[in-house]
A and B are shown apart, each in its own frame.
Chain A
């Protein structure tokens, strides 16, 4: 018994010593919804974390917990990080929204950054990326490349974020190929290699020779490779190991510049609650290298569109556009405002099928 007490005493003392030494360090916590090795969404957030470490060296300490369930578990993990002295905590999944707000209310001196949500507070910022800009480029390539005129799309959850991506891809595929048809499968998961592979196989069996995915694993890429003559795009991460075929390009989330800037702001004492929604122009959305499987002219068109989206001369949602039911959405030359984009819960005209609810 005494021995245990001495041992614990030593551990506690050691703990206190580390805390004391770490006091001048800025501590940054990351809560991840998937494993850091998912090769997609969480992997890119973790690359952002490593970039923060690389940028600040000894001046920061980063901690993370992976595969944290949304709900009470995430609330506990955030609280634990705040208790352990984190100055800044990034919560990187939509489902962490209410837990982030709850914990932030209890720790007014800790700054929180919630990805893809819409609730803010004095110490809670939100940030997201305009992935739909990348979807426009994918749609263009898909429309040009498909021979069967069937494009498969693996949706995760029917939320505005995902619906926006489907619409953006469809609009730009349709523009270059009026005969194109989208087949959409909802996987109801962000990361489940088995389900994603099944979805990809079903789409390919139904004749799709392009598979787009809004889920995070590389399983659809593997399924497409096996089938042959099917092209895919990397999601969230480059997934370059599947280039040049099936993966012909990708949307890359690059959180590093944002994470470094926000950590710097905490160090400087200039952090304030903001809502950031950046796209290709600001570098938050990257377009992975377009592989040689894509003919030169299509590649050039895609890169021209990327440049136009980046400098703001072109908006991915430019009228005239109708909603699926035929009612007008955008007039000739009109572009969608952020409010309409953020809450998008309808398909554009031409997409067959209903959004499940």
Chain B
């Protein structure tokens, strides 16, 4: 008989090793999946993981990794701070949309004026947009005790309606022949979030993500607030006795994660995407939740996890076109990663016992 037995102490070994085991298990089972589909598993896995980094055209894919990874890391950092404290912002996708709308809205309001001040104003507006959207579940939670998971998630769908409305109405390109979508900010130099060095993929969003990582690391390890976050998550009652103000903590965590998601949206709309369109959001806000957990809610872990997710997206697209793998197989492969991570996480707190329980 196989039983699970709770460990007296969480295993340090599995805490560190479970992501590694999860990746290995994903490679094995993912490879088997590819083999069943009649594709060479080794070649498929090499295409996904090797081709973007070291393949013939890595000069193009490496910058793409930054472009794809930066918004994931930026959002995940904010989410992780809240998750550590047991504050569950599931609506980063909505905050990402609102940040993009506020940022692009400010930029487009100035069109066609050229000035250095426009871009910084857009950055502020983007952060503000995300912050405001996250404050709604925040204030409702502290005032009325509503559940922030539900409220923040539902607000994603409200934000999507705003996005559609803006693409079709207020922000629609007046020179777009009636088609939806705003002017392309890539063609508006004062508002364009261009590569800082052409061709490197290094735009302001990447810089912001790096700053956020350092900031979060310092906050968690060196600052009183970081201590409050950790204690609240691990022992809420102890935190209360220790003088942590839960209201302020909820508002801080939701507000910060909202602002970071808003920034990510703003950098995306002004840079790689260029336009406010109905389908602007592609799920970064939800994927960032996976990235946060895959990175063990640790700033450096999140950087690695964000890079890994970006790699599977980019490599997955290459595998689709080069090897004819269906997109569903790639998505199953990505899903396996989280599934195995959660499975191996169990071993941090439990150990597997085979055989009968000893009589006491």
Q: A residues within 8 Å of B by Cβ?
A: 7-8, 11-12, 15, 29, 35-36, 63-73, 75-77, 79-81, 83-84, 94-95, 98, 102, 118, 157-160, 188, 342-345, 356-357
Contact in complex: A71, B172 (CB < 8 Å): no
Of B67, B268, B277, B314, the residue contacting A70 (CB under 8 A) is B277
Contact in complex: B165, A76 (CB < 8 Å): no
Contact in complex: B277, A65 (CB < 8 Å): no
User: For the complex, what is the distance from the CA of A357 to the CA of B170, rounded to whole Å?
Assistant: 8
Given contacts A35-B327, A160-B179, contact A65 B320 (CB under 8 A): yes
Given contacts A65-B321, A76-B314, A94-B179, contact A71 B168 (CB under 8 A): no
Contact in complex: B321, A342 (CB < 8 Å): no
Contact in complex: B321, A81 (CB < 8 Å): yes
Of B54, B278, B318, B326, the residue contacting A188 (CB under 8 A) is B278
User: For the complex, what is the distance from the CA of A342 to the CA of B179, rounded to whole Å?
Assistant: 10
Contact in complex: B327, A98 (CB < 8 Å): no
Contact in complex: B314, A63 (CB < 8 Å): no
Contact in complex: A98, B184 (CB < 8 Å): yes
User: For the complex, what is the distance from the CA of A159 to the CA of B160, rounded to whole Å?
Assistant: 17
Chain B proximity of A157: nearest CB distance (Å): 6
User: For the complex, what is the distance from the CA of A80 to the CA of B47, rounded to whole Å?
Assistant: 13
Contact in complex: B177, A157 (CB < 8 Å): no
Which residues of B in the span 313-349 have a Cβ within 8 Å of any Cβ on A? 313-314, 317-318, 320-322, 324, 326-328
Q: 1/0 contact trace for B180-208 toward A, CB 8 Å?
A: 11001010000000000000000000000
Contact in complex: B178, A345 (CB < 8 Å): yes
Contact in complex: A343, B320 (CB < 8 Å): no
Contact in complex: A356, B168 (CB < 8 Å): yes
Chain A proximity of B6: nearest CB distance (Å): 40
Given contacts A118-B177, A157-B180, A159-B178, contact A64 B60 (CB under 8 A): no
Of A67, A72, A342, the residue contacting B272 (CB under 8 A) is A72
Of B67, B68, B160, B327, the residue contacting A67 (CB under 8 A) is B327
Contact in complex: B43, A160 (CB < 8 Å): no
Q: Indicate if B280 sits at the interface (CB-CB under 8 A).
A: yes
- Which residues of chain B have C-beta atoms less than 8 A from A81's C-beta? 321
Given contacts A11-B43, A29-B321, A71-B273, contact A65 B165 (CB under 8 A): no
Given contacts A11-B46, A188-B164, contact A72 B321 (CB under 8 A): no
Contacts beyond the supplied A80-B61, A81-B321, A344-B178: 15 A-B pairs with Cβ under 8 Å: A11-B50, A68-B317, A69-B279, A72-B272, A77-B321, A80-B317, A80-B321, A84-B321, A157-B164, A158-B168, A159-B178, A159-B179, A160-B179, A188-B278, A356-B164
Which residues of B in the span 264-303 have a Cβ within 8 Å of any Cβ on A? 268, 272-275, 277-280, 282
Chain B proximity of A194: nearest CB distance (Å): 13
**Residue among B68, B322, B324 with most chain A CB within 10 A:** B322
Contact in complex: B180, A83 (CB < 8 Å): no
Q: Indicate if B169 sits at the interface (CB-CB under 8 A).
A: yes
User: For the complex, what is the distance from the CA of A237 to the CA of B181, rounded to whole Å?
Assistant: 27
Contact in complex: A79, B272 (CB < 8 Å): no
Contact in complex: B178, A63 (CB < 8 Å): no
Contact in complex: B179, A65 (CB < 8 Å): no
User: For the complex, what is the distance from the CA of A345 to the CA of B317, rounded to whole Å?
Assistant: 36
Contact in complex: B327, A73 (CB < 8 Å): no
Nearest CB to that of B57 among chain A residues? A83
Q: Indicate if B56 sits at the interface (CB-CB under 8 A).
A: yes
Q: Indicate if B64 sits at the interface (CB-CB under 8 A).
A: yes
Nearest CB to that of B324 among chain A residues? A63
User: For the complex, what is the distance from the CA of A65 to the CA of B318, rounded to whole Å?
Assistant: 8
Chain A proximity of B53: nearest CB distance (Å): 11
- Which residues of chain A have C-beta atoms less than 8 A from B64's C-beta? 76
Contact in complex: A160, B320 (CB < 8 Å): no
Contact in complex: B165, A77 (CB < 8 Å): no
- Which residues of chain A have C-beta atoms less than 8 A from B313's C-beta? 73
